Amino acid sequence: PITPGELLCLGSSLAFSGLFYYLYRKKARVVAQIQEAPKLQVDDNLPALVSAADGRCLPYVALEGIVLPAKAALTSHYHDGLQGVIQKLLLKEHRLIWNSLARSW
């Protein structure tokens, strides 16, 4: 005979497994989109390409080209001849909605 406690454990285990599988599949789709991103060159045609896109935004792209530092390139203390630059980050906030039940945004 199966006890109610065992049924509860089995049900919750199945529910959590289903939830984690759903989250895994959702993230796997995003990773596939990123891996299939088109590769574009940084040149004079790039602003026109962005302007022609829907909403003036390209969802996932890989930019290739020469990057010039704004002030001075960063040099590595550990590897001779290795230089890099800092990328400017763009933060896009999503619209917040007030949740009256939880009293939070």
- 46 in a structural domain: yes
Q: Is the dihedral of CA 64, 66, 70, 71 positive or negative?
A: positive
Name the residue range of residue 24's domain: 4-84
Per-residue pLDDT of the chain (105 residues; tens, 9 = 90+): 889 999 999 999 999 999 999 999 999 999 998 888 888 888 888 889 888 888 888 878 888 888 788 888 888 899 888 888 877 766 676 677 777 887 777
Q: Do 92 and 102 meet the contact criterion of CB atoms below 8 Å apart? A: no
- 92 in a structural domain: no
- 73 in a structural domain: yes
The amino acid present at 12, given as its one-letter code, is: S
- 33 in a structural domain: yes
Q: How many domains does the chain have?
A: 1
The amino acid present at 50, given as its one-letter code, is: V
